Amino acid sequence: MRPAETAKRIRDALARTRPQNMGSNALAVGSQGVSGGTGMLLANPHFPWQGKNRMWQSQLTIPGKLNVSGAGLLGLPAVNIGHNDDVAWSHTVATVAPFGLFDVQVDPLNPTMYLVDGAWERMTSQRVDVDVRNPDGSLGKVSRTLWSTRYGPVTTSIVGVQLPWAVSAHVVRDPNRDNLRALNTWFGLDRAKDVHDVVNVLETTQGVPFFNTIASDRRGDALYADIQAVPNITDEHAASCLTETGKLLFDQALPLPNVPPVSILDGKRSACDWPDDPNAAAPGLLDPHRQPRLIRSDFVGNANDSPWLANPEQPLSYPRVMGDTAAPRSLRTQELILTARNRIDGTDGLPGRGFTPETMGRLLFADNSRAADLTLDATVTACRSVAFGLVLVDGNLVDIREACPVLAAWKSHDFTLDSRGSWLFANYWAYLAGGQKPEKLPWKVPFDPKDPVHTPNSLDSGSSAVRDALARAVLALRRAGVPLNAALSEVQKVTRGGEQIPIHGSLGELGVLNVITPGQVDGRFDITFGSSFVQQVRFTADGPPEAYSVMAYSQSADPSSPHHADQTRLFSAGGWVTERYTEEQIAASPALRTKVLD
């Protein structure tokens, strides 16, 4: 396979898989953006709603040493996202490639021998036996031999793209393979006193695996930092060592914004290994001082795009390995930036200026769609302009006239429970986008790096792609027996112990901050992914932090527990739990139960 073809297949596969697996929004607001306080944080991580890979709420207290409240992943004895007395923080998935590849030349007659600096080296092998269940229910054993080089283990595929082991082999190096520093990072964050402490913890431990960190503190500072375990591939090292295929992947010769910059380095030269840096916490990691960070008094945020526009007033630059710059932002990133700007300026229709817990909660659960803001009017125009309302698509003649007034009446552009037209629009958008990035749609005004928050825009209502996507959506809903004007509450629900609870929010691809992804669970239509532990924290000059949270899928996975669906109902209603953080607040709870462990 030619390098250009291989690179395109890998990049396309990464582009397809990233939206399915990545998520989270976080917004930190400084003193200039908070009303009645010094700093605020909105933590909105997106996680699976089913299975064990969820977040669980906890508070850890060691009198005089530690008091931290928030949530963490199962099995980790630390709070991963939360707050202490003085700092609140969250994480979002970053655009760093969490691995790197090396292309090593092998002996075709003895492919476990590979060439480095003109000398042949022998690969090491490890036999792995795994017990498996056979189709008849009996136990069997599957054996594999794994081969490794000085750089790492051999792989014959990446994201489903085959990498033949013939005249060369591809090997993987993972910066987090030996990363036992993550707990040190989170214990450090749990005890931080301000955002400068947060930066120091991130730099000295480099334990965060492929996450951004967004934080605010009592002093009124807001921090964005992408300081983590990153391969030490500076732009200079990349220019010297990337293979032909690696250049096409890493340098974005085939541009797909926010696809991680995967590197393929020349393994024939030992000098192309990731260099050790004296400032890094471990061998082969990028100097943390070269990794992007930004502290401001208005706001910073991230919605899974690269660090470039943590705040559009101060675009960031950084080594290419950290992500792209001057590239289109996702609709969710645009929505986050506009939400922050408009609230701080007081131009969003809500009273006053600056964030309060009430306005921050209302804006997240407003479930506004940036995609609808940009395209709904043009879509209605396209619908009304179709002769006789009939569209021939995929061999079907579809009458779309009923859709026009439904979409025209959806003036709120939101995915709240009582919204009508939103479900039709979501289906239409899925067909229009077809899995491609929004900048590929038929816009009249293309992306402009000088105005990345507002471009591209102006959907071409005369495009056949718009008409055909609408017809396909109408046809799909009719075949499913769903009215075109169905309320969101009638179609988007989660099942908890036999109870169906309607859920507001929608797909991140629609530019909705409160991400909710429906799908199939055990043969039924359900919620599979989205907002999980949602927390907002406000600091004042003195006194305890003011915190509100909701665990969207509820705390307990046990259907018999009273906490299996209680917070899901609260989330459905747009409500929040007022946190009890101090000893006095906890002692005042009428539901307090104390259990002393032996």
Pairing of β 264-266 and β 100-107? parallel
Distance between CA atoms of 88 and 94, rounded to whole angstroms? 19
Opening angle at CA 12, ends 433 and 510, nearest 5 = 25
At residue 61, what are phi and psi to the nearest 5 degrees? -135, 125
Closest CA to 33 of 352, 366, 451: 352
Distance between terminal CA atoms of the chain?
Answer: 64
List all residues 6 or more positions away from 486 whose beta carbon is below 8 Å from its beta carbon. 420, 423, 424, 477
Distance between CA atoms of 201 and 188, rounded to whole angstroms? 6
Distance between CA atoms of 364 and 530, rounded to whole angstroms? 13
- Label residue 112 exposed, middle or buried (CB < 10 Å: 0-12, 13-18, 19+): middle
The b-or-e profile of 268-294 (16+ CB within 10 A means b, else e) is beeebbbbebeebbbebbbbbebbbbb
For residue 575, the SS3 value is coil
| Joined tokens for residue 141 | 């054993």
Distance between CA atoms of 57 and 66, rounded to whole angstroms? 16
Question: HSE (CB half, 13 Å, CA atoms) of 377?
Answer: 5
89 forms beta bridges with: 82, 215
Distance between CA atoms of 558 and 211, rounded to whole angstroms? 30
| Joined tokens for residue 366 | 């407003």
Question: HSE (CB half, 13 Å, CA atoms) of 401?
Answer: 5
Query: Alpha-carbon torsion 85, 86, 91, 97, what sign?
Result: negative
- Can you say how many angstroms the Cα of residue 537 is from the centroid of all Cα atoms in its chain? 21
Contact 215, 310 (CB under 8 A): no
Question: HSE (CB half, 13 Å, CA atoms) of 259?
Answer: 26
At residue 220, what are phi and psi to the nearest 5 degrees? 100, 15
Among all residues, which ones are annotated catalytic? 24
Distance between CA atoms of 247 and 158, rounded to whole angstroms? 17
- Looking up tokens 């629009």 gives 425
At residue 59, what are phi and psi to the nearest 5 degrees? -130, 130
Query: What is the secondary structure of 319-368 as a DSSP string?
Result: -GGG--SSSPPPHHHHHHHHHHHHHHHT-SSSSSSSB-HHHHHHHHTT-B
Distance between CA atoms of 92 and 258, rounded to whole angstroms? 14
For residue 32, the SS3 value is helix
- Looking up tokens 């709904």 gives 376
Distance between CA atoms of 14 and 256, rounded to whole angstroms? 9
Contact 148, 126 (CB under 8 A): yes
